[in-house]
Chain A
Amino acid sequence: MKRTVPALLFIAALFVINPDIHAQCKGFAKKICKQELTPYIHDGNYNADILTEGEEADLYKTFYSGMHYRLAVCGAEPLSKIEFQVIDAYKNVLYDNRNHDLAMTWDFQPESSQQLRIVLKVPVSNKQAEYPLSSCVAIMFGFKDK
């Protein structure tokens, strides 16, 4: 009985404590990541999901001439900082935050409108760990007129 009670309590806790992780992800995107965009205005798009260490994700977005943009990539605890690259249509890497101490944001202004690809990767913090870590990763864009 002593062995099973702790096990039963643990399983019960999973059902009681287990939160709606997608709602938490939205909360993280809105309350934490969106603040990184200030003084830029958030474009309203919601790009956030649960990612695991070692996972990659990408998205394409069009950026227009005459505008200033800020790109913010945020990882919630317990994930470490997120790696990201910005790549043009000719596969040139325009920005790699690994060269900037895994900075969370990048400000830029395109001279002409174009479609760029943003690639995210969640780095592995401990290759010896039994289970990889997962958490919310959000990517948000802000803009302002030139």
Chain B
Amino acid sequence: MEATRKLAEGMDIRDAIDEETMIRLEDNLNNRDVVMDIISETFLNSSSYLKENERQAVAAIVLVGGWIEGLYLATQLVGEKPIEGNKLVDRIAEQKLSFSIVDRMLEDNKVNEKGEENLDIVSLINDLQGLRNAYNGIIVQTSAVKVEADNTTNVSTLKSQTKITVTPEAFTGLRDAVNSLRSNFIL
């Protein structure tokens, strides 16, 4: 929690995270649902605070940083386990779908309303090239979706198939790219 406080102060978003929330989080560290609720609320507050204060680019960078950290943790968790049939590996590969959204978001924030280029965003786009190259070696193909509505539960099932192709070499390349990227951020 202390590290979180320091990060918030460093980004000047301390006002978006109140002490009561931090205490509630510390008191409920073993309650998954409460923790997720608090984290999502905190992220919402931080993100909207940054956007209200004309710091959309910082909000984008924070989001990307969190995504990369998640990728790092996931790739580390795979360890030496087999790649084939590994659901965690599949989930990591599926992040390729989110990567295109990350790229789009960074492009949207590259230039501010005054037409000035944000150098931090430009630097981040360049830094992500290694990860982009790694994901080029991973194939994720999704079929068209057919919707099956359930009138009893009111939940629609989106029926489709996804074919994921990840070789051990491609996964190693991805893990190395994530490691390298994260190392640059935390130094």
Bound complex: CA of A44 vs CA of B159, how far in Å? 26
Residue A115, interface by CB 8 Å:
yes
Residue A128 CB within 8 A of the other chain: no
Is the CB–CB distance between B155 and A112 below 8 Å? no
Q: Nearest Cβ in chain A — how far from B103, in angstroms? A: 11
Chain A residues whose CB sits within 8 angstroms of the CB of B155 once the complex forms: 68, 107-109
With beta carbons under 8 angstroms apart, the residue of B39, B42, B52, B142 that contacts A113 is B142
Contact of B48 among A26, A109, A113 (CB under 8 A): A26
* Total A residues in contact with B, Cβ cutoff 8 Å: 37
A-B contact count (CB 8 A): 107
A113 touches B97 (CB 8 A): yes
Is B161 positioned at the interface, with any CB of A under 8 Å from its CB?
yes
Interface of A is mostly: mixed
Contacting residues, chain B, for A62 (C-beta < 8 A):
94, 97-98, 101
Does more than half of chain B's interface fall in helix, strand or loop, or is it mixed? Answer: helix
Is B44 within 8 A of A22, CB to CB? no
Q: Which of B40, B48, B142 contacts A29 (CB 8 A)?
A: B48
Residues of B within 8 A of A108 (CB): 147, 155-158
Q: Is the CB of B94 within 8 A of A41?
A: no
B residues whose Cβ falls under 8 Å from a Cβ of A: 33, 36-37, 39-44, 47-48, 51-52, 91, 94, 97-98, 100-101, 104, 142-145, 147, 153-162
Closest 6 CB pairs of A and B: A44-B43, A44-B40, A112-B162, A90-B144, A26-B48, A110-B158
A interface list, Cβ under 8 A from B: 20, 22-23, 26, 29-30, 34, 41-46, 48, 60-65, 68, 88-90, 92, 94-95, 106-115
